[in-house]
Amino acid sequence: MKKYTYPSVLTIAGFDSSGGAGIQADIKTISALGCYATSVLTALPVQNTMGVRKIYPIPMEAVADQIEAVLDDIVPQAIKIGMVHTPQLVDTIIDTLNKYPKIPIVFDPVMVATSGDRLIEEKTVTAIIEKLFPISEIITPNMDEASIIAGMEVKNLEDMRTAGKKILSSGCKNILLKGGHQESPTVTSIFFDEKGDQSSLETEKFITNNTHGSGCTLSSAIAAYLARGEELSTAVKLGQQYVFEAIRNGKDVITGNGNGPLNHFFNPHKQIKNDLV
C-alpha cells in the first residue's frame, strides 16, 4: 500500500467554547483545505456567540511543552499564531520556536473579538510589535486591530492605507489589512508586501451576523495554502475567497443568539479542486 503525508499546519491560538473561532475554527479550516492540523492552546476564553465572559490563562510551561511536543514529531509546513494576550506568552512562543528550523508564520494579532470585546492586555501590544512581527511572514489585522497597532483611527480606505504603511515600517514583512468593518456594500482589504507595494482585494458584503471567527479562518486558510506550496500573494487571494464562500454559505444558518460562525465545510473538495486547476 502506498504511503503519503498531508501538508501540516500548526495553530497556536486560544480556545472557543462556542466552536466558531480560535483553535476550533483553525482546525476546521486547515482540515477543509486538505492539510493536517496540529494545535497548541494559549488561553482558555469562556465565550459563546454573545461574547467573551472570562479568560483563563494557560501556564507558560504548558504552552512551551505543547509546541515542543508537536514540532519534535509532526513538523508543519506553516504555522498560524492567533491569540497572544500577555508579554510572557510572546516570549514563551518565540523562545520555543527559536529551537527549531524557521517555518513560515501567519500571525493574526487577535485583539478585539467580533462582539467588540477587547481580548489583549495593553502592555502586550509593544511586545507583539517588537518580537512577533519580525518573525512573521505576514500579519492579518482587522481595522480595529490596525487602529491599536498604528495608534490612529482607521475608519475608511484612506485610513487603512496610512495605517498599513505605518505598521509596515514597524518591522513586519507583509500585511493583509482586512476591511470587513467598512460601512459599504463591498469589503475591500489591502495587501501590503515587503517592498511597500499595495494591492486591493474586494469581495461582496453580506447582511449577516454569522462572521464569528472570520479572522481566525482567514489566517488559517492563508497558512494552509502556504503549506500546500502556494506563493504568499496567491495564498492571500485564495484565503480571501475561501472566507467569502464560508460566509456566503453560512449567512442564513442560525447558531446561538449572537454572532454565529462561518460554514467551514461548505464544499471544501470543490474548493480545493478549483484552486489546483
pLDDT tens digit string along 177-217?
A: 998 767 778 889 999 998 889 999 998 888 888 888 999 99
The rounded distance, in Å, linking the Cα atoms of 275 and 191 is 20
Q: In terms of pLDDT, which residue wins out, 97 or 180? A: 97
pLDDT at residue 276, as a whole number: 43
The rounded distance, in Å, linking the Cα atoms of 217 and 248 is 14
The rounded distance, in Å, linking the Cα atoms of 184 and 202 is 11
Q: In terms of pLDDT, which residue wins out, 219 or 186? A: 219
Reported confidence tier of residue 269, pLDDT bands at 50, 70, 90: low
pLDDT at residue 110, as a whole number: 82
* Lowest-pLDDT range of 104-113, 142-151, 243-252: 104-113
Q: Give me 195's grid cell.
A: 517592498
Contact partners, residue 122, CB within 8 Å, separation at least 6: none
Q: In terms of pLDDT, which residue wins out, 239 or 206? A: 239
Q: Is 78 helix (H, G, I), strand (E, B) or coil?
A: strand
pLDDT at residue 102, as a whole number: 93
pLDDT at residue 111, as a whole number: 82
Q: 21-42 b/e with 16+ CB inside 10 Å = b? A: bbbbbbbbbbbbbbbbbbbbbb
* Lowest-pLDDT range of 34-38, 97-101, 116-120, 214-218: 116-120
pLDDT above 60 (res 176): yes
Its pTM surpasses 0.85: yes
What CATH number does domain 8-140+209-276 carry, 3.40.50.620, 3.30.950.10, 3.40.50.2300, 3.40.1190.20?
A: 3.40.1190.20
pLDDT at residue 112, as a whole number: 72
- Domain boundaries, given as residue ranges, for the chain: 8-140+209-276
